[in-house]
Structure 1
Amino acid sequence: MADRRFRFAVMAAWARDGAGWAAQARRVEELGYTTLLTPDTSGTAMPAASLAAAAGATTTLRVGTFVLSAATRPPNTIAWEAASMAFATGDRFELGIGAGRPGGEDDAAVFGVPYGSGAERLARVEQVLDAVANPPEGLFAGTGRPPRVLVAASRRRMLELAARRAGTVAFGVPPMTDDERLAGYVEIVRTAAGDRFDDLELCTQVHVVGDEVPEWLSRQMDVDTAAMAKSNAIAKLSGTPREMADTLTRRRDELGVSYVSVSSAFMEEFAPVVELLAGR
């Protein structure tokens, strides 16, 4: 297995205002996280605007979409946005792309575009990857260096596409997924990637840090609070910073997962783990 060094991201969706958003980005950088990620929903700020502001308020922090919906934009529009973001951020932008999310039909309705079937949306993701890698003639190409691409996936066909085409594969799996089930997803990626598996970065998300699961978060994840608290789900880490670091190290050594994002609600609690592992 490749020598995969840890890096960590914060998933943030909102702030009171622009000044608060910039302050949050600076704090993410101060705590040692590599990347600030933001979602793509009709109920949150446009990712390009938020991420450009975050990059402008920081010096080394990378910024990325997690994830941009291929269902609500033409492929060339996404390639244009990605090149523009790479240009505006000094090549600190990473394009996270996916085929949609639960509730994605509502976003499509707001924007007045067809959501499409699962097969149509998967095909759209592949078209996006083509357009980003090789922008059509006449389209602004930014710095000329395509951004790193993350593909979020949970179903076999999307996992296989991510394995073949992405730089980072993010496992957008159910919150109660444990290590055993995660291993099955990783095996799908390994088989589809073939010789390029060792070059892939694998990513998982931590939604809860500690033993208590906030009620608002359990509603958001649609899980039972008590069940999540007692579970061995990969979406939850508890114990001392050293114990959490050991869990992530074991997961990295056994499954190859080296990129971990954490909810902004827990970025302070998780910072000691980042200090222990970042870049190692």
Structure 2
Amino acid sequence: MRDFRFSCNVFGVETHEAFIDRCRLVERLGYDTLFAPDHVGAPAPFPVLVAAANATERLRVGTLVLNAAFWNPALLARDIATTDILTGGRLEVGLGAGYMKSEFDAAGVAWEPFGTRVDRMAETIQVLEHWFRTGDQAGLPGGRAPQPVQRHGFHHSGPPLIVGGNGDRVLKLAAEQADIVAVTGIYQVKGEKPGTSRLGTAAEAEERVRFVQKQAGARADEIEWNILVQRVVQTTDRRAAAESLAAQFTFDMAVDEVLETPFLLIGTVDEMAEQVLRNRERFGFSYYTVHDPHLEAFAPVIEALRP
């Protein structure tokens, strides 16, 4: 059974000083990794990660996750390798297929069928692996491309690879290629416009984990499981908090499902720590990510779970 790792998403960058202070707080509270998402209107991920690594001593940094459709694979290889060098080999690379049509529209990028987007992500992984393995920039100014410091992911040619998603095709790709499989718990609502989402249940999370394990075959035990927790609610009355959350959701979710889903943490510090332990036992989730607004609420849970 894997040891726990804990991480958070950064949501914004207001000033240099405030961001540096936030990164140092993340490290001081015991988090292992700071992640930058890849959304239109959000800060550019790679400068954020370099700044975070420079502001801290041990904090790992990563993308959770890059929208593969937004990136030219060869240029992305350059950015990843350069960032791995400038962070001292502390980078983790997360890739996804993208799920918000509004962001594609805003960026002027064609919204393609899901299968096509997954194929594009698979091709991106292949190109990244080639560039990391060979550094082949023959005939171009500058000669050999920058090479990553790490050789853990991309079949031992680059930084650890995270693949995030919920659909069969993405998770099949994750089972074949990823060092870390990330499950967000956000599901597209069938029959609704793209981007209309709901929270996944415990039963759905369990089924998705089993699917990846089956697809991974002999390498299933090598996979590290990341989960993105959507809310952290510290309370002495779990059921009352769950009832309040259930009433807020656009799509129906029973109170017992709210209490059981691994994508929400609700209760006292001890109750949330117990939930994290149960989730590792049931689903295999050992790499926990919380959103920035829940950074301080989750910190006592980290402390409770550390040896």
Residue 109 of structure 2: which of 108, 113, 121 is its match?
113
Structure 1 counterpart of 2:129: 133
Partner Cα distance (2:31, 2:283) in 1: 22
Deviates more, 1:188-197 or 1:247-256: 247-256
Aligned AA (1:137): D
1:69-218 equivalent positions in 2, closer than 5 A = 69-101=67-99, 103=100, 105-135=101-131, 137-138=136-137, 139-143=145-149, 145=151, 146-174=158-186, 176-210=199-233, 211=235
> What SS does structure 2 have at the residue aligned with 1:134?
helix
2:46 alignment partner, one of 44, 48, 52? 48
Other structure's SS at 2:70 match = coil
Consecutive unaligned residues of structure 1, counting only runs of 5 or more, are none
SS in 1 for 2:50: helix
Decide whether the 8 Å contact of 2:185 with 2:263 is kept in 1. no
Gaps of 5+ in 2: 138-144, 152-157, 187-197, 236-240
Q: What fraction of aligned residue pairs are identical, expressed as a percent?
A: 32
Residues 202 and 72 of structure 1, relative CA distance in 2, 3 Å threshold: same
Question: 2:231–2:264: 8 Å Cα contact kept in structure 1?
Answer: yes
Within 1, Cα distance between the matches of 2:15 and 2:251?
30
Query: What does 1:228-243 correspond to in 2, within 5 Å?
Result: 231-243=259-271
Please report the TM-score for the alignment, with normalisation by the length of structure 1: 0.88
Aligned residue number for residue 286 of structure 2: 258
Q: Which moved more, 1:147-156 or 1:169-178?
A: 169-178
Partner residue of 1:14? 12
Q: Which has the larger radius of gyration?
A: 2
Deviation at 1:144, TM superposition (A): 6.2
Higher alpha-carbon deviation: 135-144 or 24-33: 135-144
Q: Secondary structure at the match of 1:238?
A: strand
How far the C-alpha of 1:258 sits from its partner, in A, is 0.5
Question: 1:252 deviation in Å?
Answer: 0.7
Deviation by residue 1:255-275 (Cα, 9 ceiling, x = unmatched) = 211011011111111111111
Q: CA deviation at 1:239?
A: 1.7
Per the normalisation by structure 2, the TM-score is: 0.81
How many residues are paired up?
A: 272
Give 1:163 deviation, angstroms: 0.9
TM-aligned CA deviation for residue 232 of structure 1: 2.9
Kindly indicate whether structure 1 or structure 2 has the higher relative contact order, using CA contacts under 8 Å at least 6 residues apart: 1
